[in-house]
C-alpha cells in the first residue's frame, strides 16, 4: 500500500511538471497578416526589408535582380522559409534559387526543401523552400551553426536566357517557425544576438540621431540564456531515481524483526 501511494505521487508530479514543458515544445503561432505586410524587397544585405515570422511579404522586380528580406530567429526555433515567384506569360527555362544567411552573413545549409528549382518554358510560377537547422544558443567560433539573431533571405535567378533578362516578376516570401524546445538546448549562450546592420532612430531633443542596431535587437524578447525545459526533465529524472531507490529499499529489506518474546519462567 505504501508503494502504491509513492508511485501515485510520483506520477502526479510527473504530469504536473511535464505539462508546461509539453506546452513549450508546441509550434508557436506566427504573426498574422494585418494588411501591413511589406510590399517591396531590398537589393542588398544592408537594405533588406524586415519581416516578422508568420508574415507574408511581397515584392515586384525584374529577372536578374537580387531580392533581400530579413527576419529574427531565436534559440530553440527551426525557421522555414518559403518563396513563390510568379513569372511572365512568355519566357524560357529559368532556374531560381533561395539562399538564407545568418547575422554574420554566413550561408546556412537547408535541412531539406527545394532550395533551387527550374521553371520550364511557359510555367506560371515556381515555388522554393528551405528548412533551416534549429537555432542554437551557443557554438564554437569555427562552427557554422545557426545562432540567434537576424537572418537574411536572398531570392534570385541563377540561370536564364538573355531574352528573359529584365522581364518583370513578382515574389512572395513567408517565414514560419517551430519551437523545438529543450531537445536543442546547449550549455552556453551568446551575450548578444547576432544583429548586424545600422538603423537610425529619432534622436535627442537637440535633433541629433543615434545609430543603433536593427530593430530586431530589442532588449527583451530573446530567450537565449541558461533556462530551457531540459531542466524540467532533469528534475523529473532525479525525482524518479530517488523514488525508485526508496521503492527498492522497501521491497528488499524483508519482513520486520519479530517482537521479543519474554522467556519462559
Distance CA 242, CA 137 (A): 31
Helices 2-24, 230-252: crossing angle, 10 deg rounding: 170
pLDDT at 97: 95
Predicted confidence band of residue 195 (pLDDT cuts 50, 70, 90): confident
Q: In what side-by-side order are the strands of the sheet with 67-73?
A: 49-50, 67-73, 149-159, 94-101, 116-119
Beta bridge partners of 60: 170
167 and 84 together in one domain: yes
Grid cell of 22 as nine digits: 509539453
Distance CA 105, CA 68 (A): 12
The answer, yes or no, to whether residue 128 has pLDDT greater than 50, is yes
115 and 154 together in one domain: yes
138 and 97 together in one domain: yes
Give the DSSP per-residue string, 57-98.
EEEEEETT--EEEEEEE-TTEEEEEEEEEEPPSS---EEEEE
13 and 37 together in one domain: no
The answer, yes or no, to whether residue 56 has pLDDT greater than 50, is yes
Point out the domain boundary residue: 179, 196, 211: 179
pLDDT at 60: 93
pTM of the model: 0.67
If we measure between CA atoms, which residue out of 222, 230, 226, 228 comes closest to residue 74?
Answer: 222
Percent of the chain with pLDDT over 70: 63
CB 71 within 8 A of CB 79: yes
The boundaries of the domain holding residue 14 are 2-18+231-251
Distance CA 33, CA 174 (A): 11
138 and 242 together in one domain: no
- How many separate domains does the chain show? 2
Percent of the chain with pLDDT over 90: 33
Point out the domain boundary residue: 144, 163, 179: 179
174 in a structural domain: yes
202 in a structural domain: no
Q: b or e along 82-115 (b: 16 or more beta carbons within 10 Å of the residue's beta carbon)?
A: bbbbebeeebeebebbbbbbbbeeeebebeeeeb
173 in a structural domain: yes
Amino acid at each position: 500500500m505504501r508503494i502504491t501511494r509513492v508511485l501515485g505521487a510520483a506520477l502526479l508530479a510527473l504530469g504536473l511538471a511535464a505539462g508546461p514543458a509539453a506546452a513549450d515544445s508546441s509550434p508557436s503561432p506566427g504573426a498574422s497578416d494585418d494588411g501591413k505586410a511589406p510590399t517591396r524587397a531590398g537589393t542588398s544585405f544592408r537594405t533588406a526589408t524586415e519581416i516578422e515570422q508568420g508574415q507574408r511579404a511581397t515584392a515586384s522586380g525584374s529577372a536578374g535582380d537580387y531580392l533581400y528580406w530579413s527576419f529574427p530567429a531565436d534559440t530553440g526555433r527551426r525557421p522555414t522559409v518559403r518563396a513563390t515567384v510568379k513569372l511572365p506569360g512568355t519566357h524560357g527555362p529559368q532556374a531560381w534559387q533561395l539562399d538564407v544567411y545568418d547575422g554574420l552573413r554566413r550561408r546556412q545549409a537547408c535541412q531539406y526543401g527545394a532550395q533551387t528549382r527550374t521553371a520550364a518554358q511557359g510555367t506560371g510560377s515556381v515555388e522554393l523552400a528551405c528548412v533551416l537547422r534549429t537555432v542554437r544558443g551557443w557554438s564554437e567560433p569555427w562552427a557554422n551553426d545557426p545562432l540567434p539573431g537576424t537572418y537574411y533571405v536572398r531570392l534570385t535567378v541563377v540561370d536564364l536566357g538573355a531574352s528573359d533578362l529584365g522581364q518583370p516578376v513578382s515574389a512572395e516570401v513567408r517565414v514560419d517557425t517551430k519551437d523545438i524546445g529543450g531537445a536543442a538546448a546547449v550549455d552556453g549562450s551568446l551575450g548578444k544576438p547576432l544583429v548586424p546592420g545600422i538603423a537610425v532612430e529619432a534622436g535627442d531633443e537637440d535633433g541629433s540621431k543615434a545609430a543603433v542596431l536593427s530593430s530586431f535587437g530589442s532588449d527583451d524578447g530573446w530567450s537565449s540564456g541558461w533556462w530551457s525545459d531540459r531542466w524540467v526533465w532533469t528534475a523529473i529524472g532525479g525525482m524518479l531515481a530517488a523514488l525508485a531507490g526508496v521503492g527498492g529499499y522497501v521491497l528488499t529489506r524483508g519482513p520486520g524483526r519479530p517482537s521479543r518474546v519474554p522467556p519462559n519462567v
